[in-house]
């Protein structure tokens, strides 16, 4: 406690404190596995962002007619693009895996006194993932086969 008295002989003594302030280096995330995995998780957003741009390009091509769209499709067939798609697939799957791990922590569902276990929420998400993927795949195959909307 600081003394605020002004009586003789009771003045505040000189402090010899010299705290050493530790600065966070820019390489902090290389320090351990946990941080490195966090950065990898965040980095998944880069290829996915680029993929969104590729999809935009596809829509643009779609709006310009069949010839333009055929060109876009040809580019999708190049080895570079297929490799990029594998990267996007890996990134989005890692995103989904980490996302489904985190969502139960935020999405707490209580029905009266019963709290839905984290595992159920996670499994529901994985279930939804399977159902949605199957549905979209089915729709895609229908389109490719000339099925009606």
Partner 1 sequence: MTKPLDSTVARKPYPYPRSHEPIAWSLFGAGGMVVAFIIPVLALITGLLMPGWPVETLYPNLLAFSQSWIGKLALLAVISLTLYHCAHRIYHGLHDLHVGGNPVLMLLLFYGGATLLSAITAAWLLVI
Partner 2 sequence: MATEHSAMIQMTVVRYRPEQDDKPWDQKFEVPCSNDSTVLEALNYIKDNLDPSLSFRWSCRMAICGSCGYMVNGVPKLGCKTFLRDYLNRSGRKGKVRISALDNFPIERDLVSDIGDFVDKLETIKPYIIRDNEKPASDGEYLQTPGQLEKFKQFSGCINCGLCYAACPQFGRNPEFLGPAALALAFRYNQDSRDEGSAERMEFLNAEEGVWSCTFVGYCSDVCPKSVDPAAAINQGKLASNIDYGLNLVGLAKSGSGSRKGSKTKRDNLSVDDKQSVKTEDVS
Report 34-53 residues binding partner 1 (CB under 8 A): 39, 42-43, 45-46, 48-49, 51-53
Please select the residue that binds partner 2; options are 8, 18, 146, 148, rule is CB under 8 A: 18
**Residue 39 or residue 134: which is nearer to partner 2 going by CB?**
39
Judged by DSSP in three states, 3 sits in coil
- Please give the structure tokens belonging to residue 45: 């957003």
Write phi, then psi, for 115 (nearest 5 degrees): -100, 125
Neighbours of 44 (CB within 10 A): 21
Report 87-126 residues binding partner 2 (CB under 8 A): 102, 105-108, 110, 112-115
Judged by DSSP in three states, 94 sits in helix
Neighbours of 103 (CB within 10 A): 14
By the rule CB under 8 A, 15 interacts with partner 1: yes
Residue 18 DSSP class: -
User: What is the rounded distance in angstroms from the CA atom of residue 121 to the CA atom of residue 105?
Assistant: 9
User: CA 68 → CA 71, 76, 141, distances in Å?
Assistant: 5, 13, 22
Query: Which residues in this chain contact partner 2 in the complex, by CB under 8 A?
Result: 1-2, 4, 16-22, 24, 28-29, 31-32, 34-35, 38, 42, 102, 105-108, 110, 112-115
Query: Which residues in this chain contact partner 1 in the complex, by CB under 8 A?
Result: 2, 15, 17, 19, 21, 24, 26, 29, 39, 42-43, 45-46, 48-49, 51-56, 58-60, 62-63, 66, 69-70, 73, 76-77, 81-82, 84-86, 88-89, 92-93, 95-96, 99-100, 125, 128-129, 132-133, 136-137, 140-141, 143-147, 149
């Amino acid at each position: 406690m600081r003394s605020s008295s002004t009586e003789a002989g009771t003045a505040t003594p000189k402090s010899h404190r010299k705290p050493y302030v530790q600065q966070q280096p820019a390489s902090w995330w290389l320090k351990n596995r946990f941080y490195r995995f966090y950065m990898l998780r965040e980095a998944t957003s880069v290829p996915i962002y680029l993929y969104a741009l590729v999809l935009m390009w596809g829509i643009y091509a779609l709006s310009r007619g069949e010839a333009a769209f055929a060109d876009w499709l040809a580019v999708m067939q190049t080895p570079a693009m297929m490799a990029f798609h594998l990267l996007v697939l890996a990134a989005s799957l890692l995103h989904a895996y980490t996302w489904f791990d985190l969502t139960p922590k935020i999405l707490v569902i209580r029905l009266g006194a019963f709290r839905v276990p984290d595992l159920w929420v996670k499994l529901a998400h994985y279930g939804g993932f399977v159902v949605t993927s199957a549905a979209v795949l089915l729709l895609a195959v229908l389109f490719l086969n000339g099925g009606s909307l």
